[in-house]
């Protein structure tokens, strides 16, 4: 497994299995190094419309074996932060509580109210702010 960095300084884990799967695609022949390069210097970064923690890093390549194409490196953040021990020790107890609460938030009886969110954010040292914009 390799740990890469994106253009925002975030750690991105690329398992050997995932890398091998990506490089199985014929259009990726000779482009292994481009995965890391696109993360570091993308032409464009977009947020996923369907999965909030996902970012899409794009770079256009004219000379490839299949002609011009966009290379898109897809990264899902936060899945393993607790496993990696990247959380500050002082926040671990609070974050464990937050994650436990979020784990049942999709059950109507255990849903999160605004007051709950506000309290959890305050415990983490944040103040919530709501911004209303025209659609």
CA–centroid distance for 101 within its chain = 21
* Alpha carbon separation from 15 to 2, 31, 82 (Å, rounded): 6, 17, 17
pLDDT (tens digit, 9 = 90+) per residue, 33-63? 999 999 999 999 998 888 878 899 999 987 7
Q: Per-domain residue ranges for the chain?
A: 2-76, 87-123
Q: What angle do CA 105, 106, 107 make, to 5 degrees?
A: 90
User: Tokens 């109507």 sit at which residue?
Assistant: 108
- pTM exceeds 0.95: no
Q: Does the pLDDT value for residue 106 go beyond 90?
A: no
Are 51 and 76 contacting, i.e. CB atoms less than 8 angstroms apart?
yes
Q: Which residue has the higher pLDDT, 131 or 45?
A: 45
Residue 23: pLDDT band with limits 50, 70, 90: very high
Least confident of 8-12, 53-57, 112-116: 112-116
Q: Which residue has the higher pLDDT, 133 or 40?
A: 40
Other C-beta atoms lying within 10 Å of the C-beta of residue 73 = 22
Q: Does the pLDDT value for residue 96 go beyond 60?
A: yes
């Amino acid at each position: 497994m390799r740990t890469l960095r994106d253009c925002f300084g975030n750690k991105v884990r690329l398992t050997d299995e995932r890398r091998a799967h990506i490089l199985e695609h014929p259009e990726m022949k000779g482009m292994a190094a481009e995965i890391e390069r696109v993360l570091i210097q993308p032409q464009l970064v977009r947020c996923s419309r369907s999965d909030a923690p996902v970012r899409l890093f794009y770079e256009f390549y004219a000379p490839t074996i299949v002609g011009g194409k966009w290379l898109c490196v897809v990264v899902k953040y936060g899945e393993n932060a607790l496993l990696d021990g990247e959380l500050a020790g002082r926040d671990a107890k609070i974050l464990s509580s937050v994650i436990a609460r979020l784990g049942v938030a999709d059950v109507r009886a255990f849903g999160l109210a605004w007051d709950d969110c506000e309290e959890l954010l305050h415990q983490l040292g944040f103040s919530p702010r709501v911004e209303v914009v025209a659609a």
